[in-house]
Structure 1
Amino acid sequence: MIDTGALQALAAVEHHGTVAAASEALGFSPSAVSQQIKKLERQTGFPVLERRGRGVLLTERGMALAAYGRKLLAELEELESTLLTDPTKPQGRIRMAAFSTACRGLVAPMLAALAADGAELDVHVLAEDPREAIARVAAAEADIGIVHDWSSVPLPEPEHLVLEWICEDVADLLVHRSHPLAAREAVGAADLLDERWVSSTRGAICHEALLRIFADLGRVPDIRVYDPDFATHVALVEQAVVVALVPRLGRPTLPEGVVAVPVDDPLPARRVGIVHRRTMTGSPGIQHVARLLRAIAASR
């Protein structure tokens, strides 16, 4: 009988391209993943991987086996998350991927609510940019994700995932109190053309959203600092060396020297949502966590 753990290892190698990357994603050593692949080859009687330079490729029969394996693993996951669980008692381990400000603004109060209601859920959280979170959930490396997109930068939505938007998160311009724009009731993109900026790292959705704000004006923002942490953005604005566009979700209390000014042309807003695999839709644990996240989002 073919071992499901071996099928999972093969599917991970196919998705990530190397044994090393697959082992990191699965949380095993490369030798353990290699042993699973060898076990699968013994069980099937044919090679599923072939060497190509320093990497590996799936053989034709290996690709077919990986495709069948994904279907089988999905059906097993659906069985375990529904028929084999008590719908009145959410329990077990849940792996969550969430972007940083969601960890502060949504996940932290959700974990507190879980502790208070006594649910037997063991939640592990990894901070990830939304695209990486989507990929982890799609590859079954996370069970649920909290993601965001901006109207100008949509997220990919694989067919086997369910994405539910739960709130909108607006970003404000942060400037030093001495800045000429600090006293304005609102500003537009045209008011910001000559500013020096701090931005999220290149390739991050928030960085792309900042670029899109100026796209219609035929300009690129003058970005002087790249940093993934919005707390760093606030600290730099406090020193009056840059301005920043920072969402409200999870934003810490601003220092006395920093002012938040609304932006209305265009309105910089992102949707925040929950994503999970369709096979986990009936999971009592996923449903319980999703209910808590919806309630927290609505209260904010």
Structure 2
Amino acid sequence: MIDLQGLRALVAVAGSGSVVAAAGRLGYTPSAVSQQVKKLERELAAPLLERRGRGVLLTERGRALVSEGRELLETLERLESVAAGGAPRAPLRIASFSTATRGLVGPLLRELRGTDGATLATVTSVDPVDAMEMVATGAADLAVVHNWNSVPLSAPAHVVTEHLCFDEADIVLATGHPLADRLELDRAALVDEPWASTPKGAICHEALMRIFADLGTVPRVVAEDPDFSSLVELARQGVAIALVPRLGRPPLPSGVVARPLADHSQVREVRVAYRRTMAESPGIRRAVGLLTEAGALVEP
């Protein structure tokens, strides 16, 4: 009989591109993942991975096993979901981006708490690209992700997404800024401004980079920080202006104002994602329902 733990490890390596990345997704150490794959190799008496530089490649046998094994694991996951009925076997693992963790997932965690105080759900805040991959590889059961209209986020074929809400981003600037008294801001008026942004590689940073695409330029970023609160503080100090979404945004401190763009072009759609094999899971359905209710309360 094929060792399912080893098969899961091999599928994760195939999807992540390395043992280290697969370990991070599965919640194991790289050594544990390597041992699981090696055990599977011993059972099959055939190599499944070959090292190539700092990464690994699947052998022909490994590729065939992953192709068939992924479907087997999905079927098994579906079966386990049905067998679990209304009683989850383990806490629901949620991946979310930070503002959604505050604005949408917090109420969900409160509701998904056992009467005996047991934890029925956990959350990890990561960039939406990473959250989608965590769901796709089985490292998370459900993800809350977003799509900027300028930076779409694609879902693998075996992942389903559902709409939760739309979230508009405003320009945050100091009250003493020359544009602070305007109710809406034209993008053309912001071309020469210094900006504070989330780090390169984050979807919100990419969205900012494309804000002036039709004007033939890119924002001049003078500060990067992953925390929107830090960006707001930099705006308050007059260091830069910042593009900050409304979802999960706490009340702004004195000294700053938030102004929408006149064309309302910076809007992201927030969606929930889960694997098709989990579609009938009572835990997934309840979580999606609670997130949908929370999303309905978000101002457009």
Normalised by the size of structure 2, how large is the TM-score?
A: 0.93
In structure 1, distance between residues paired with 2:225 and 2:169: 17
Conserved in 2, the CA contact under 8 Å of 1:90 and 1:121?
A: no
Q: Secondary structure at the residue paired with 1:251?
A: coil
Alignment of 1:277-296 (within 5 A): 277-296=275-294
1:160 shift after superposition: 0.5
Q: Secondary structure at the residue paired with 1:260?
A: strand
Give a deviation string over 1:142-199, Cα, whole Å, max 9, x none: 1100000111111112110101111000111111111121111111101111211101
**2:36 is aligned with 1:40:** no
In structure 2, distance between residues paired with 1:20 and 1:270: 32
The gaps in structure 1 that reach 5 residues or longer are none
Q: Secondary structure at the residue paired with 1:164?
A: strand
Q: Secondary structure at the residue paired with 2:239?
A: coil
Q: How many residues align?
A: 298
Q: Percent identity?
A: 52
1:131 shift after superposition: 0.9
1:53 shift after superposition: 4.3
Question: Relative to 1, partners in 2 of residues 1:42 and 1:170: Cα closer, same or farther, differing over 3 Å?
Answer: same
Q: Which residue of 2 aligns with 1:124?
A: 122
In structure 1, distance between residues paired with 2:209 and 2:19: 37
Q: Which residue of 1 aligns with 2:84?
A: 85
Conserved in 2, the CA contact under 8 Å of 1:176 and 1:182?
A: yes
Q: Which residue of 1 aligns with 2:50?
A: 50
In structure 1, distance between residues paired with 2:161 and 2:271: 7
In structure 1, distance between residues paired with 2:48 and 2:234: 53
Conserved in 2, the CA contact under 8 Å of 1:148 and 1:273?
A: yes
1:218 shift after superposition: 1.1
1:266 shift after superposition: 4.6
Q: Which residue of 2 aligns with 1:5?
A: 5
1:55 shift after superposition: 4.0
Q: Secondary structure at the residue paired with 2:261?
A: strand
1:49 shift after superposition: 2.1
In structure 2, distance between residues paired with 1:67 and 1:116: 38
Partner amino acid, structure 1, of 2:262:
D
Partner amino acid, structure 1, of 2:179:
L
Q: Which residue of 1 aligns with 2:62?
A: 62
Q: Which residue of 2 aligns with 1:16?
A: 16
1:39 shift after superposition: 2.0
Question: Relative to 1, partners in 2 of residues 1:51 and 1:281: Cα closer, same or farther, differing over 3 Å?
Answer: same
Q: Which residue of 2 aligns with 1:298?
A: 296
Conserved in 2, the CA contact under 8 Å of 1:92 and 1:285?
A: no
In structure 2, distance between residues paired with 1:273 and 1:113: 19
CA RMSD of aligned residues (A): 1.9
Question: Relative to 1, partners in 2 of residues 1:256 and 1:73: Cα closer, same or farther, differing over 3 Å?
Answer: same
Alignment of 1:1-300 (within 5 A): 1-82=1-82, 84-87=83-86, 89=87, 92-115=90-113, 122-300=120-298
Higher alpha-carbon deviation: 287-296 or 199-208: 199-208
Partner amino acid, structure 2, of 1:147:
V
Question: Relative to 1, partners in 2 of residues 1:2 and 1:167: Cα closer, same or farther, differing over 3 Å?
Answer: same
Partner amino acid, structure 2, of 1:245:
L
Question: Relative to 1, partners in 2 of residues 1:51 and 1:29: Cα closer, same or farther, differing over 3 Å?
Answer: same
Partner amino acid, structure 2, of 1:127:
S
Partner amino acid, structure 1, of 2:248:
G
The gaps in structure 2 that reach 5 residues or longer are none
In structure 2, distance between residues paired with 1:78 and 1:19: 26
Structure 1 segments (4+ residues) deviating >4 Å: 116-121
